[in-house]
Structure 1
Amino acid sequence: MTDHLAAISRSPATIDVAGHPVTVPYRPAGEWIAAIGDSRPSLALMRVANEASRTWLIGQLAAGALPLETAVQGSYDALTAAGGRSWWETYRLMTLSGELSTLGHLVLAGVDPSARSLGEWCAAVYTLLTRNAKPEDVFKFDAQLAAPPPGFEDEWDDDQDFEAMAAAARNMPGMS
């Protein structure tokens, strides 16, 4: 599931959290990376939402009116909206971008996280990591990137036909 338009968008995103619209203004990739830091993306929404939405989220959580799991899902939804791909793919690509060699290549290529959307940043990371790779290695990378984390298997993109994917995998060079 890749939404190319969302990946390059500079428009605010509206995330539904317990029936309440939460607004996430455009933020460049660098701000998203800083918002998540070394932690999991579970509370990123608290850092990237606009002031009114952040105040509502904090108030609802403090009052016990909003389950923490619902706020966490809102963070995942925001990451999906900003990255243009599943939240875990976006998160994995963000994490990979922090590796020194990957970051170094991006810097030398002039890819600036303060000037790129999160989706663009992730696309640059993906391209860097798959450039010059053999088709079977790209297939393996894609499979690892797309596999949902434990507990999120039901969120996997079910619009793909398993039989068609299996046939494509069998037809790849070196696969049987």
Structure 2
Amino acid sequence: MPDPYAAISRSPATVTVAGHLVTIPHRPAGAWLAALADARPSLALMRVADGPSRAWLIGQLAAGDLPWDIAAQGSYDALTAAGGRPWWETHRLLSLSVEPSTLGHLVLAGLDPWARSTGEWTAAVYTLLTRHAKPEEVFKFDSQLGAPPPGFEDHWDDDTDFEAMAAAARNMPGMN
């Protein structure tokens, strides 16, 4: 479950990979952007974990003692911890942040990805992309942002009552 306070945290995070605690020191959004620019989200943990954790991960993978899917899940868990939202939302917002027009707005607003946490950075990107949108456009954006990638649909169930969510959507201005 994502921790919404991760957006403002400067504390190290830990994720469990194959029963082993992996530590991720506070890394600003810029470090996550660099890690994701070099690799897929499934490899991000290898780039942001602390030295001992990184050595353990690489050693376990090289020895064949750590299944790839377990290591990848650790990366997804780390993205969730850093962004305070499901990993795919954090990844999508980070990816959107380096689009020239989005990045330009962020820079003109004085935001520096090396001075902001991943959660703060993604919150700023979300706000930038939705602040002048009509409610139905925000609903559409939220739906696209929140939809899990293929194979991760089971991670989407957040115990939200579907009927209550559908009623709220129907009652939005401009929705029939």
Taking structure 1 as the reference length, the TM-score comes to 0.97
Preserved CA contact (<8 Å) 2:2 2:81: no
Alpha-carbon distance in 2 for matches of 1:162, 1:40: 32
Contact 2:14–2:22 under 8 Å retained in 1: yes
Aligned to 1:5: 5
Equivalents in 1 of 2:11, 2:45: separation in Å?
16
Once the two structures are superposed, what CA deviation does each residue of 1:6-31 show, in whole Å capped at 9, x if it has no partner? Answer: 11100000100000000000000000
| RMSD of aligned Cα (Å) | 1.1
User: What is the CA-CA distance between 1:2 and the residue it aligns to?
Assistant: 5.5
Partners of 1:141 and 1:3 in 2: how far apart? 21
Which one-letter code corresponds to 1:42 in the other structure?
A: S
Q: Does 1:34 align with 2:21?
A: no
Aligned position for 1:23: 23
Point out where structure 1 has 5 or more consecutive residues left out of the alignment: none
- Runs of 4+ aligned structure 1 residues displaced above 2 Å come to 1-4
Q: Percent identity?
A: 78
Offset at residue 158 of structure 1 (A)? 2.4
SS in structure 2 at match of 1:26: coil
Aligned equivalent of 1:108 = 108
Distance in 2 between residues matched to 1:38 and 1:21, nearest whole Å:
24
Q: Deviations over 1:43-79 (max 9, x none)?
A: 0000000000001001111111100110000000000
How far has the Cα of 1:4 moved from its partner? Answer: 2.6
Gapped runs of 5+ residues in structure 2? none
Please report how far the alpha carbon of residue 82 of structure 1 lies from its aligned counterpart in structure 2 after TM superposition.
0.3
Q: Letter of the aligned partner of 1:142 in structure 2? A: D
Aligned residues: 176
Which residue in 1 is equivalent to 2:126? 126
Q: Deviations over 1:138-172 (max 9, x none)?
A: 01101110000011000004221111110011111
Aligned to 1:140: 140
Post-superposition offset of 1:38? 5.5
Which residue pairs with 2:72 in the alignment?
72
* TM-fit CA distance, 1:173: 1.6
